Amino acid sequence: MKLYSTRQKAPEASLQQALFAGMPADQGLYMPVAIPRLPVETLNLMEGLAFPEIAFLIAQALIGDSVEDQVLKEITREAFSFPVPLRQIGENEYVLELFHGPSLAFKDFGARFMSRLMGSFPSLDKRELQILVATSGDTGGAVAMGFYGVPGIRVTILYPSGRVSNLQEKQMTTLGGNIRALEVAGSFDDCQGMVKQAFADRSLNQELRLSSANSINIGRLIPQIFYYFYGWACLPARKSALYYSVPSGNFGNLVAGLMAWKMGLPITRLAASTNANDVVPQWLISGEYRPRPSVHTLSTAMDVGNPSNFERIVSLFQGDRELVKSMVSGYSFSDEETRQAIRRVYDRTGYILCPHSAVAWLGLQALTAEKRGGQYAAVLLATAHPGKFPDIYDADMASQIHLPELDFNMQGAQQISVKIAAEYSGLRRILLESSR
C-alpha cells in the first residue's frame, strides 16, 4: 500500500511510514493511492464467515503487499476476539453492535488492530516507541487496552481531570505496565495542545521516538472498513438496497464506510448522523465549511467542531461536493430528539440505544423515510454500550442495562495516575525522565 497526503505537499509513504509517523509533514492526512475493488467472488465468499476471516480477506486486498498473510491472519484473529452481533429491531432495521470489545466502544476495532500492526513491523530503531494520546474519554481506554503489554511500546495518555466518566477513568488508570495515565488539571483542549507541543518539540523528538494514536492515523481507520462488510454478510437475505447510518464526530467511521463502498460493498447511501455539532451536514447543504468550537451534547464523543477526517471525505471525491452528496446524506439532531429516540425505540422494541447510537437511529429514519416494503436493509452502527452512560436513563431502563464482566478486573483495581498541571514543561520532564 502506498499513501498520499490529502494536501499533496508531502512525499508518498509506505504503510509502515504512515503508521509510525501518524501525519504527513504537510499536516494533511494519509490516504491510500489506490483502493482495490474486491472481485464479486470474494464478496460471495463472505456469507457465513466469522469476523476475523472477513477482516483478513479485506486486509489482504488492501495491505497484503506490505504485510505477510500469516501475520495478517494472526493480527485479525487476536484483535477481533469479541462478538459483533447484528440485531434486527424492525422489519428492515438492524443494529450492528460494535461495543463488545474491552473498552465497550467501537474504538477498540481501530486501537487493537493498529497496536498489533505496529508491533508486527521489525523496527530499525531500537528505542522504545512512545505513543502519546490526548483523550476526552473513549479513545483513552481503547488505546490503553489495545496497546497493553505490546513489547517495545510505551503509551502515555493525557486526560482532563474530572471530565471523564468513572468507568472511562478506570480503563485508563488501572492497567499499569506499559500504560501511563496523566491526569491534567485542565480541559481536553489543553491535553491536545500539550501533545501537539511535544510533537513540535525538535530536541524532544531527537531524544525520544514519538508517535500518535489519534484517529488521524490510517492504522485506526483501515480496521473500521471490516465491519461494514461483516454487517452486510450477516443480513438474513440479500436486498436490493443497503443503507448505513453512522454516528459521526471526527468522521473517521464515515470515511471507513466510504472506503468499504469503494472496495465494492454494495452500499446504496450513508447517513452522516451528527448531534448539534453539524459542520459537515451544513457543508453538504451550503458548500461552506465553517469549523467552530464544539458544543456540549448528550453524545459527548461526537462533540467535535472541526472534524479532522473531513479532508479525507473531500479527497475521496476529488473535492466534488455533488459527488459526496450522491452517496452521503447529512443530518443533525438535538439532545431532546435523542432522548425521545431512546424512549421510542425502547417502548417499541425493548432495545436500549446509547446516545450516540440513538443519533444514528434518527439518521436512519430520515434516510429511509420514503422507503416502503421489504426490499432494503437499513443498518445503524451502535458505537458504545449504553452502560457507559448510566446517568441518562430512567430507573426502569437503567435496570435493564447489564454491563459485562470487566476484562482487566477493573472494579476493585487500584487507579494510578500522575497529576500534572496543564503546562507542557511538566509533560516534557516526565517523558524524558522515564526514558533514561
Ligand X SMILES: *Cc1c(COP(=O)(O)O)cnc(C)c1O
Options 176-184, 251-259, 320-328, 336-344: segment touching ligand X (CB under 6 A): 251-259
Closest by alpha carbon to 179, among 156, 146, 202?
Answer: 156
Options 22-30, 115-123, 249-257, 279-287: segment touching ligand X (CB under 6 A): 249-257
Q: Does residue 302 interact with ligand X by CB under 6 A? A: yes
Torsion over CA: 316, 197, 173, 117 (sign): positive
**Pair 380, 270: CB distance under 8 Å:** no
Instruction: Name the minimum Å distance from CB 147 to ligand X.
Output: 17
Specify the residue, 186 or 257, whose C-beta has the smaller distance to ligand X: 257
Specify the residue, 178 or 253, whose C-beta has the smaller distance to ligand X: 253
Q: Does residue 250 interact with ligand X by CB under 6 A? A: yes
- What are the cell numbers at 213? 494514536
Q: Does residue 301 interact with ligand X by CB under 6 A? A: yes
Instruction: Name the minimum Å distance from CB 84 to ligand X.
Output: 15
Residue 417 C-alpha from the chain's centroid: 25
Nearest to ligand X by Cβ — which residue? 250
Write the interaction track for ligand X spanning residues 229-248; mark x where CB under 6 A is met and - where it is not: ------------------xx
Q: Does residue 209 interact with ligand X by CB under 6 A? A: no
Residue 126 annotated in active site: no
Options 12-20, 87-95, 250-258, 399-407: segment touching ligand X (CB under 6 A): 250-258
Which one among 30, 57, 107, 208 touches ligand X, defined by CB under 6 A? 107
Q: Does residue 103 interact with ligand X by CB under 6 A? A: no
- Restricted to residues 13-52, the positions that interact with ligand X (CB under 6 A) are none
Write the interaction track for ligand X spanning residues 116-155; mark x where CB under 6 A is met and - where it is not: ----------------------x-----------------
Q: Does residue 104 interact with ligand X by CB under 6 A? A: no
**Pair 19, 221: CB distance under 8 Å:** no
Instruction: Name the minimum Å distance from CB 294 to ligand X.
Output: 12
- C-alpha distance from residue 129 to each of 141, 208, 255, 373, 415 (Å): 19, 8, 28, 54, 24
In angstroms, the CA 259 to CA 257 distance is 5
Q: Does residue 249 interact with ligand X by CB under 6 A? A: yes
Choosing from 2, 9, 73, 107, which is the catalytic residue?
A: 107
Which one among 102, 252, 281, 386 touches ligand X, defined by CB under 6 A? 252
- The residues near 173 (Cβ < 8 Å, ≥ 6 apart) are 181, 415, 416, 417
**Catalytic residue annotation:** 107
Residues lying near ligand X in the complex (CB under 6 A) are found at 105, 107, 138, 215, 247-253, 301-302, 356, 383-384
